[in-house]
Amino acid sequence: NAGVTQTPKFQVLKTGQSMTLQCAQDMNHNSMYWYRQDPGMGLRLIYYSASEGTTDKGEVPNGYNVSRLNKREFSLRLESAAPSQTSVYFCASSEERGQGWSTDTQYFGPGTRLTVL
Protein backbone atom coordinates (compact mmCIF):
# COMPACT_ATOMS: atom_id res chain seq x y z
CA ASN A 1 0.00 0.00 0.00
CA ALA A 2 1.98 2.99 -1.33
CA GLY A 3 -0.65 5.66 -0.54
CA VAL A 4 -0.26 8.64 -2.87
CA THR A 5 2.62 8.62 -5.33
CA GLN A 6 3.84 11.48 -7.52
CA THR A 7 6.22 11.63 -10.45
CA PRO A 8 8.61 13.20 -11.09
CA LYS A 9 10.18 14.33 -7.79
CA PHE A 10 12.10 17.17 -9.41
CA GLN A 11 11.80 18.97 -12.74
CA VAL A 12 13.43 21.99 -14.36
CA LEU A 13 11.67 23.58 -17.33
CA LYS A 14 12.35 26.51 -19.58
CA THR A 15 9.69 29.17 -20.01
CA GLY A 16 7.14 28.01 -22.57
CA GLN A 17 7.80 24.29 -22.20
CA SER A 18 5.01 21.93 -21.24
CA MET A 19 4.89 19.02 -18.86
CA THR A 20 2.51 16.74 -16.99
CA LEU A 21 2.75 15.90 -13.32
CA GLN A 22 1.45 12.45 -12.51
CA CYS A 23 -0.37 11.35 -9.37
CA ALA A 24 -1.81 7.99 -8.35
CA GLN A 25 -3.44 6.66 -5.19
CA ASP A 26 -4.14 3.10 -4.13
CA MET A 27 -6.57 3.80 -1.28
CA ASN A 28 -9.74 3.64 -3.42
CA HIS A 29 -10.48 7.29 -2.63
CA ASN A 30 -13.04 9.13 -4.69
CA SER A 31 -11.64 12.64 -4.30
CA MET A 32 -8.27 13.87 -5.49
CA TYR A 33 -6.59 17.29 -5.34
CA TRP A 34 -3.67 19.29 -6.67
CA TYR A 35 -2.04 21.98 -4.50
CA ARG A 36 0.91 24.25 -4.83
CA GLN A 37 3.01 25.39 -1.91
CA ASP A 38 4.88 28.67 -2.03
CA PRO A 39 6.82 30.42 0.77
CA GLY A 40 4.49 32.41 3.01
CA MET A 41 1.42 31.27 1.06
CA GLY A 42 0.64 27.90 2.59
CA LEU A 43 -1.05 25.28 0.43
CA ARG A 44 -3.30 26.62 -2.30
CA LEU A 45 -5.75 24.42 -4.20
CA ILE A 46 -5.27 24.37 -7.97
CA TYR A 47 -7.87 21.83 -9.09
CA TYR A 48 -9.77 19.00 -7.53
CA SER A 49 -11.84 16.02 -8.61
CA ALA A 50 -14.69 14.82 -6.45
CA SER A 51 -15.11 11.64 -8.45
CA GLU A 52 -13.94 9.92 -11.60
CA GLY A 53 -14.94 12.00 -14.60
CA THR A 54 -15.40 15.30 -12.76
CA THR A 55 -12.98 18.16 -12.15
CA ASP A 56 -13.39 21.63 -10.67
CA LYS A 57 -11.26 24.71 -10.30
CA GLY A 58 -9.72 25.61 -7.01
CA GLU A 59 -8.21 28.87 -5.82
CA VAL A 60 -5.40 29.22 -8.41
CA PRO A 61 -6.30 27.30 -11.61
CA ASN A 62 -4.90 29.69 -14.24
CA GLY A 63 -2.16 28.15 -16.37
CA TYR A 64 -3.06 24.56 -15.45
CA ASN A 65 -5.23 21.76 -16.77
CA VAL A 66 -6.12 18.46 -15.15
CA SER A 67 -7.29 15.03 -16.16
CA ARG A 68 -8.94 12.45 -13.93
CA LEU A 69 -7.85 9.47 -15.97
CA ASN A 70 -9.58 6.92 -13.75
CA LYS A 71 -10.33 6.52 -10.07
CA ARG A 72 -6.64 6.06 -9.23
CA GLU A 73 -4.95 8.72 -11.33
CA PHE A 74 -5.16 12.51 -11.49
CA SER A 75 -2.68 14.43 -13.64
CA LEU A 76 -1.78 18.12 -13.74
CA ARG A 77 -0.58 19.69 -16.97
CA LEU A 78 1.29 22.92 -17.56
CA GLU A 79 0.81 23.80 -21.22
CA SER A 80 3.24 26.72 -21.34
CA ALA A 81 5.29 26.99 -18.17
CA ALA A 82 6.03 30.41 -16.64
CA PRO A 83 8.51 31.37 -13.90
CA SER A 84 5.52 32.15 -11.64
CA GLN A 85 4.74 28.44 -11.68
CA THR A 86 7.97 27.62 -9.89
CA SER A 87 6.68 25.87 -6.79
CA VAL A 88 6.30 22.59 -4.96
CA TYR A 89 3.26 20.68 -6.16
CA PHE A 90 1.37 18.24 -3.96
CA CYS A 91 -1.28 15.75 -4.92
CA ALA A 92 -3.73 14.51 -2.29
CA SER A 93 -6.68 12.18 -2.01
CA SER A 94 -9.46 11.85 0.53
CA GLU A 95 -12.16 9.53 1.73
CA GLU A 96 -15.63 10.29 0.50
CA ARG A 97 -17.48 12.55 2.90
CA GLY A 98 -20.51 10.69 4.14
CA GLN A 99 -23.38 11.73 6.37
CA GLY A 100 -22.83 13.41 9.68
CA TRP A 101 -19.38 14.26 10.92
CA SER A 102 -17.20 12.07 8.77
CA THR A 103 -13.67 13.27 8.28
CA ASP A 104 -12.14 15.19 5.41
CA THR A 105 -8.68 13.85 6.06
CA GLN A 106 -6.57 14.26 2.97
CA TYR A 107 -3.53 12.11 2.32
CA PHE A 108 -0.67 13.76 0.52
CA GLY A 109 2.00 12.58 -1.85
CA PRO A 110 5.69 13.49 -1.39
CA GLY A 111 5.54 16.43 -3.81
CA THR A 112 7.15 17.54 -7.07
CA ARG A 113 9.62 20.42 -6.93
CA LEU A 114 9.29 22.36 -10.18
CA THR A 115 11.58 25.15 -11.31
CA VAL A 116 10.76 27.22 -14.40
CA LEU A 117 13.67 29.24 -15.76
Partner 1 sequence: DQQVKQNSPSLSVQEGRISILNCDYTNSMFDYFLWYKKYPAEGPTFLISISSIKDKNEDGRFTVFLNKSAKHLSLHIVPSQPGDSAVYFCAASAFGNEKLTFGTGTRLTIIP
Strands (E), the chain: 4-7, 10-13, 19-25, 31-38, 42-49, 56-57, 65-68, 74-78, 87-94, 106-108, 112-116
Closer by beta carbon to partner 1, 62 or else 101: 101
Q: Is 107 a binder of partner 1 (CB under 8 A)? A: yes
Binding mask 49-78 for partner 1 (x = CB under 8 A): -x-------x--------------------
Q: Is 31 a binder of partner 1 (CB under 8 A)? A: yes
How far is the C-alpha of 42 from the C-alpha of 80, rounded, in Å? 24
Q: Which of 17, 19, 22, 45 binds partner 1 (CB under 8 A)?
A: 45
Q: Is 108 a binder of partner 1 (CB under 8 A)? A: yes
Asked, as a colleague might, if the bond just before 61 is cis with ω within 30 of 0, I would say no
CB 107, min distance to partner 1, A: 7
Closest by CA position to 22, among listed 31, 38, 11: 11
Number of residues binding to partner 1, judged by CB under 8 A: 27
How far is the C-alpha of 47 from the C-alpha of 34, rounded, in Å? 5
Residues that bind partner 1 (CB under 8 A): 4, 31, 33, 35, 40-45, 48, 50, 58, 90, 92, 94, 97, 101, 103-111
